[in-house]
């Protein structure tokens, strides 16, 4: 039985959601089980693998270690909001074209981490990309293709005014 439940307003993918929860509930659990947004994956549960990455106020953040009480009122963007079947986000398109995924489990987190990187660094160096990859685990080992995807997405996004949301 929960006794310290509070109501929170989460701004997820441009929509406000009123939720009851405890301040220590993980954002990942709320996204997956309360809102049905299953693109962010549970990997390590400790914020090390990146499978659960979402954007919070435009910054790549590990949702498995982010607590509900810390994100109320902040803009949360999940993989579900960045593209659709008719038009992929440039990062998604780059991952597809370079075959940067194999099993696909890490792909939503990798894509969101890449978008976060490119929001703050439109022309990442190889070292910047390596730092990004250092915090995102790909069990299939497609890192060379992921690096190519990040480079391709960066090149394509240079001329775009804003690529953080649906295109």
Q: What is the pLDDT of residue 24?
A: 93
SS3 at position 167 = coil
Burial code of 76-109, b = ≥16 C-beta within 10 A, e = fewer? bbbbbbbbeeeebbbbbbbbeebebbeeebbbbb
Q: CA 111, CA 95: separation in Å to the nearest integer?
A: 8
| CATH superfamily, with its number, for domain 90-157 | [2Fe-2S]-binding domain (1.10.150.120)
| The model's pTM | 0.90
DSSP 25: S
CA distance linking residue 67 with residue 28, whole number of Å: 9
Q: Where are the domains of the chain?
A: 6-81, 90-157
Q: Regarding the domain delimited by 6-81, which CATH topology (the fold level of the hierarchy) does it fall under?
A: Ubiquitin-like (UB roll) (3.10.20)
pLDDT in tens, the chain (167 residues): 555 689 999 999 999 999 999 999 999 999 999 999 999 999 999 999 999 999 999 999 999 999 999 999 999 999 999 998 899 999 999 999 999 999 999 999 999 999 999 999 999 998 999 888 888 999 999 999 999 999 999 999 987 765 444 43
């Amino acid at each position: 039985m929960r006794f310290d439940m509070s109501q929170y307003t989460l701004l997820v993918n441009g929509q406000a959601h009123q939720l009851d929860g405890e301040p220590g509930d993980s954002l990942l659990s709320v996204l997956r089980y309360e809102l049905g947004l299953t693109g962010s994956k549970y990997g390590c549960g400790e914020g090390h693998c990146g499978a659960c990455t979402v954007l919070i106020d435009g910054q790549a953040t590990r949702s498995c270690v982010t607590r509900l009480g810390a994100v109320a009122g902040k803009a949360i963007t999940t993989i579900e909001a960045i593209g659709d079947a008719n038009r992929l986000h440039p990062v998604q398109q780059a991952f597809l074209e370079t075959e940067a995924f194999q099993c696909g489990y890490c792909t939503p987190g990798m894509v969101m981490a890449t978008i976060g990187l490119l929001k703050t660094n439109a022309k990442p160096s190889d070292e910047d990309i390596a730092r990004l990859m250092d915090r995102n685990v790909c069990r299939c080992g497609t890192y060379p293709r992921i690096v190519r995807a990040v480079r391709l997405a960066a090149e394509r996004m240079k001329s775009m005014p804003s690529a953080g949301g649906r295109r």
